[in-house]
Amino acid sequence: MNIGFIGIGIMGRPMAKNLLKAGYALTVYDKFAQFDDLVALGAKPGTSNKDVAAKSDLIITMLPNSPNVRDAVLGKDGVIDGAKPGTIVVDMSSIAPGAAQEICAALKEKGIVMIDAPVSGGEPKAIEGTLAIMVGGDEKAFATAKPILEKMGSSVVRVGDIGAGNVTKLANQIIVALNIAAVSEAFVLATKAGVKPEAVFNAIKGGLAGSTVMNAKIPMILDGNFKPGFRIELHIKDLQNALDTGHALNVPLPLTANIMETMQALKTDGMAVNDHSAIVRYYEKLAKVEVRK
């Protein structure tokens, strides 16, 4: 099977590398990023989104937000102009569920199938090939795509029809953001009280308060390492999609709104491109203490 990969960013690059390692024939393209390293590993360079689609049986898109996916798929020289009927588009971006449904409907008119398959795990798990992948869409298309997705993720679960993958991702992003906030608030308290944060981490990580989020983010915080695996500005985008979706469904999301404002404050302080573990810096600033080794 010939696979197209559009979107060679922090996440897309290691994901594409894992497909190459698995032996798949890959055509890659990103109008904003270089992909010479992937070509050196055996990928074929595409010249446009349309060109990638024309050369592929299945196309993966991994882009920042809804407008980027809409442009790559439905815009000028887009996937829709190059893809053959029966082609499967797997959008692995994190976008608004409604946008996924709209793009899918436009593709369906051309006989092209789309599933949404956003991911969780950030850059480290993208590199490892152990992402959690949440899929919405046609069951037959999912069955075709699943072996490919399993080369990039350790968990690949279909959760419903088109858009359901992104609804699940929004739920995931709410939980992750609030988990980081809770961890940050707790460790700032412990540090201010004079208890070593590393000792607190070792004491509680095996109990009910332990979590994948805490295990991933506390070592970064203790080292003062806020190099992005997942940028605050991208988490803001996801939370905005969650709030918009909640408002459209008449679902109040007060905790989501609160952490959104925390992230907006960090963005104002110049931390938009930091990892979302930098949420701790908001609490550190309030308490005038740093959670470090």
Determine the Cα–Cα distance for residues 217 and 279; give it in Å rounded to an integer: 10
- Tokens standing for 159? 């959760």
Residues of the chain with pLDDT under 50: none
Residue 195: predicted pLDDT: 98
Q: Which CATH superfamily is domain 2-162 in?
A: NAD(P)-binding Rossmann-like Domain (3.40.50.720)
Count of CB atoms within 10 A of residue 34's CB?
10
pTM over 0.75: yes
Sorted by where each begins, the domain ranges of the chain are: 2-162, 167-287
Q: Is 169 a catalytic residue?
A: yes
- Tokens standing for 23? 């032996």
Residue 229: predicted pLDDT: 85
CATH class of 167-287: mainly alpha
- Marked catalytic residue, from 169, 205, 227, 237: 169
pLDDT 10s digits, 261-271: 999 999 999 99
Residue 209: predicted pLDDT: 97
Residue 202: predicted pLDDT: 98
